[in-house]
Chain A
């Protein structure tokens, strides 16, 4: 009997759970997570939970640095942006660095889930890699993975580890290729490489693929990402459509 685990399971049961993940760091998971959550929240009460407990990028993206979560009888109150709630360890430790032994990271992630007041759709922004965060989510719920990469061959090769793992676990993610191209007056420039290799990989695993462009303007929205309505956000809307809304599980 583990009270924390029982509570975390309860929070995720009968919810639509999306996990934005990558085996590779620096590919833009947090921005994709933020934009996808905002997209979902246009129609449904959505909660973004930042499980990257060491970098806590969501607090930076939404301009929440130094702000602390309120806590009421339902648990940790998310920071609110319309129908989107954002939960981050940054709202518990403020701007303090978090250095933890590996054995504690799972506990901290599980606590964030267990003690949060969540909506009907939950988007997790995962840290890079194939560690406790993936195993914990698998243990708690049946999630839908969104795998993020950039077109560079090394990134795709690393991300393929994750794709292979997910396939073995019976999951078929949507593959988001972030920073796939730059729109030069209607012509696509591809500074991180062409799409041939990533297309081969997506075909190999039978995955839907969404290309998100580079938009330098997005930098102006760091701290107010909820106000961004540019081209990346509209491309991420495609991910929402691909994920869809199958009936909620009753587990």
Chain B
């Protein structure tokens, strides 16, 4: 049973206190998720590697992309964590904000500068300054997950932890979840046809362990825990950065009233979401499903009416003796 099945009108979109409970889990543990603080990410890709290792995900291409240090390029069937690398010119001549002072580290952790030392003037045009943005992306484990809503087999389901997982033995490879995801996360594996994505380490959660990617992250950029706690921590961290003179710090996906009812994995970003390849204001497609069914019903009736009319008109004209 999906949440949406029990009462479609109210559970397709909007704030939703208890996704696991609404999916039929009794006495569910608190909902867990990720807060990824990209301001401390050093782009080491330990999360990517740990995820591949733990989940035994096959290799998916060894090409050089030309996209900075990012040769993984994006999330997909065989990449469930993806570290984005963005090089931006900073300073007076660029359109970007000036390089901020070194940002404070979160409590009790090593201080990691937001910017590198200025690049040599010869190598970069303009002001000659560059800033790095690095961010580890993952499935958002949406409160209203379009992938789960549209899956015709029930292969995608909501776990007792409030996360969204694919059951490999049920997926029939219809591929409907792929275009439904507003974040472009889930994908079919070409060799296999079935859909795969981050499970939020369902197996590890069951054993009381934290997910492999969070465990491997050396800077605690990836923080795992109960979603409520993470939201509080994230709000504090954003305030801290603003006070330290990093006004462009912002949270992404944390509000429970956003288009997908809040992301189970949300982020602290240092630029607009689309710069990281994230949609600025995604909406779960099934929010509009009642309207779609209504219009499809009206269109079906119009079809019936139009054809009926086509049979009635010739009969009428014939009765009037025109033929």
Q: Do A and B bind each other?
A: no
Interface residue ranges, B against A (CB under 8 Å): none
